[in-house]
Chains A and B, each alone.
Chain A
């Protein structure tokens, strides 16, 4: 299994509070991704990173920001959490990236509840 950890694994917070989720990898992979998974929608890409300090938006990026200051860490921040952001968040990593088919490996997930 790829060395990917996510923290926290569970979090309950209130509407309007800031929340930061952390993804940490020990594989030295260049590419990292944040997804959310909701019933009826499947996995949807929020943001991704193609290198240190290089990030871009995914399909559902509104209300989220990311940062990557080191190869091994990719942070997802909800500046002001809303109930619609209650979801399970998965981090993923991959090695090859653009131009070649490559496989993404997923972390264990963070279950976030916004009250």
Chain B
């Protein structure tokens, strides 16, 4: 099976940098995804990693190490609007499609 762990809550200060970690146990997967979800809204796609290393997209970067079973999402120059839940998800193999298995999410509160 696939077990995905994320911290439940984090707090950070506006303008700072925060790293949200995601650890997993799985025998193999296509890619690892990060989604952002504001309260009462749908998840929105942020980034995905297929290969080990860092993927950068503006203020957001995501890192993957398959050998360590570890990923993180890095948010720079935090803004108040970054207050949201951040969902880590693994896309597995098998069946007629590549299903996503989600962690329970990390609720980030950005303070002034």
Contact = CB atoms under 8 A, between A and B. Distances in A.
A40 B104 contact: yes
A101 B96 contact: no
A105 B44 CA distance: 7
A48 interface: yes
Nearest to B29: A101
A44 B102 contact: yes
Interface stretch (A14-22, A60-68, A74-82, A90-98): A90-98
A50 B96 contact: yes
A98 B105 contact: no
A108 B96 CA distance: 25
Interface string A23-42: 00000000101000000111
A43 interface: yes
A58 interface: yes
Interface in B32-69: 33, 41-45, 48, 50
Chain B interface secondary structure, helix, strand, loop or mixed?
loop
Interface range on chain B: under 10, 10 to 19, 20 to 34, or 35 or more?
A: 20 to 34
Nearest to A103: B45
Interface residues of A, number: 29
A54 B96 CA distance: 9
Given A31-B97, A101-B91, A42 B105 contact: yes
Contacts of A54: 96
Interface string B78-112: 00000000010101000111111111110000000
A94 B97 contact: yes
Nearest to A96: B98
Interface of B: 30-31, 33, 41-45, 48, 50, 87, 89, 91, 95-105
Given A42-B104, A100-B98, A108-B41, 11 more contacts: A42-B105, A45-B99, A45-B100, A48-B97, A56-B96, A97-B98, A98-B98, A105-B45, A107-B42, A108-B42, A109-B41
17 contacts: A31-B97, A42-B102, A43-B43, A43-B87, A54-B96, A56-B95, A90-B42, A97-B96, A97-B97, A98-B98, A101-B31, A101-B98, A103-B45, A104-B100, A105-B45, A106-B44, A108-B42
